[in-house]
Structure 1
Amino acid sequence: MSTTTELPASTAAAPPRRTRRVLGWIVIILLVIGGALLIMRIGAATSVPFRGGGDPDGTGEHGMLALAEILRDQDVEVEVVRTRADAIAAIEDDTTLVMTDPYSLSDEAVLQLLEPAHRIVLLSASSRMLSLLELGESTSASTAAAVTASCDLAEFARVGEIHPGRLFIPADGVTGCYGDDDGNAALLVDETEVGERAMIDGTRLFGNGYLAQDGNAALGLALLGQTGHVVWYVPSFADSDLEAQTEPSLGELTPSWVTPAIVMLILAGVAAALWRGRRFGPLVAETLPVTVRASETMHGRARLTAKAADAGHAAEAIRDGTVRRLARRLGLHDRAGAGEVADAVADRLGIPRTSVQELLTGALPASDDQLIDHARNLSDLESAVDDAIRTERGTR
């Protein structure tokens, strides 16, 4: 007769199939990347180039599209250029070159740009351009009152009043218009044999949000509409001839051997991690939680206390147990202290409180012999309370 021995079922769970999970995450990542690329492409196709302040194509509050359209309505050809090469190529004998502060150009490039133009209008308050063209100096003076041309130039006679922005101090031989009583002027005009150069802070005068105020539109037309052709140059960093000066990097400041040494240390660390690193195996299922009997915990703590030879700690544990049991037997609340329990025991047994207080709240024993006596006294106290309670119940 043959018997078949059945092997016990393994408690280890089968290793999870990670292939589908990994493929799922790969698909999700690819979808996210594809969606981001699609959104970026759509945004790039539908985005409108930003036109800042002083731009003749700008539609914002500080853009100057309205002034450009007024000039076109007066049969003035307005040609917007964004590189100095295109600007130089577009300048003719009857051209007015208009631009804001050419912050992206060096002084040499600015002079090269201005050289072929016979009439130049600067719509900015750049101190550099004031000095470069020798028109005057900047001043902190300002005026909140409306001012008139107050100069002998006929083209501004019918403009009317304006509220200017920045004021300047005209240089010798430079005509100042729209000024205050101290000789400061909002408009500087320098007429020489080479040509005419004018400068005014046009940010608060010719912007789309300010052009309809006072005589701003008339002043803009008088400045820019003197010729039939306007070349409006818009500076940008894309058209800069300035070389960027950056601080030296950390790699440039350190010796040449530092980088190879760091790379070697990183490789050594990775090799050490692969060599001595802990390798985890497959996960093993385990039934949790593990139940530990109270008696095992008690015996374990007792062995630790005995091994440490800590009589005081053992006596404290025994006394705490006695206090809790006495409180329960005497009908006290769970949070009753040792002092309350001692008073209740003294009242029940009719013995002096000091002796019970000394036993339940006094000093702890310091030796094993004292611990044995202390434990015996606590046991006798519990027995006395039990006898007293049983006697009271029997007499009722």
Structure 2
Amino acid sequence: MSAPTRDLSEASGVGGASTPRLAPWNTTVPARAPRSRRRTAFRAIVLVVVAVVAAWALSAVIAGPPRSGLPLDPGDAGRSGARAAAEVLRQQGVDVSVVRGIDDLERTLGAADSRARWTVVLTDATYLGQGAAERLTRAVEQTRRFVVVEPDDVELGDLALPLTVTDRSGTSLTAGCRSDVADPNDRLGASWSSYGLLAGLAGDVRSGSARDRTPPARPTGPDTSAAPQPPLLARSATGATVCFLTPDASSGSSSGGTGSTSRGSGSAPADAPAGARSGAVVILPREGRAPETVVLGSAAALSNGKVLDAAHAALTLRALGPTEHLLWYVPGVSDLDAPDPSGRHVADPGRGVPEWLVPASWLLAAAVVAFALARGRRLGRLVVEPLRVVVRAVETTEARGRLYHRAADRPLAARALRTGTRTRLADRLGLPRETPVVALVEAATRASGHPHHDVEQLLDGPDPTTDRDLLLLAQRLADLEESVRSA
């Protein structure tokens, strides 16, 4: 901004008895100096790089493997996921396929050349409805092995397995058995659930003792017993191998007739009482069309955070890798209401998506839209209100000049003029505003063509002592800026 000009004839009375009348100030504000090309190009490059990185990160998230957010998800690299186990199995030559719905599972197994070359694993049954469980039990028929990880009593009943949960703990256990899944010296160092055998199961599992041992927490629809159920034969516990015996089970069996085999093969007699032999790993042999079924009682042992502890890695590889194909089933939310094999939806008020959820969602969305419209109408049109007083933009500058004139503080006014000139010259020359005066003088000398001594006196010379010297300084500073601007 160029220095203000005053009538010299009226400035001679500074310091006198009377305050001279100031002429109107003629203030001009030059256009802001453009940024240097180098800084502008650097910022443009930074913005382009940031945009490319953001686009790459977004595409990586979108194109990444889908995740359900459930424990032991094969695509989850967190501590509770099972991506490490899935990747190690792939490195061992196992073809790991992940399906996230009962329809995809049936479609995959239906297209298989030989189901005997497939292993199916269910690691989390949070979204496994009763109808989907029946279809899963039928879909895994004639496969090599079916692995279920830490199921509860409700899931055991839905899958028609002759087992019941007997205990939960986190103490270390030793396998004490020899099988395709565990060696006698394998150690389990994660939290576990133990399972006891239920003997004497036969006939329809939905009308037999398998349903009777389900805990009361599981609700049953009022018309479930009256509706015809598809026949689903219960598995027998005959020939089951129990590993990682719990302390109560191992101590109790050591004094009985079966105690001699509790640390050996681990096979349970068919007439063993329910829960007499319980362990964290139970292997049910193939029976008819039903595959060999392995119940792993420790989900933590398969997780990324615990798979390298104790013998968890070996246990995982033996249980999930007996065949060249592994089908990892992660039930989706739609499986809660999946129909049973006959196409009928099983009534179960305790699970599934509530019927009122969809209408309630539409009602909530309509309420949000109505509220937005109501609040938007309250704003009304924009109203232009004329100001009562018109304040000129130059008012502050003129008032400050009058204060300087009244106080006769010429050094302060000169410093203000020089500071403004230095700032504008730095912007014009593409230098930081904190540039030392020496460097700024050199740059201004080259740009304006004025002598070095004159530029130095203007930007960092002695303070004026009279009003005439102050006005002359202001004029010469304006001339310097004009010379640099037109260079």
Larger C-alpha radius of gyration, 1 or 2?
1
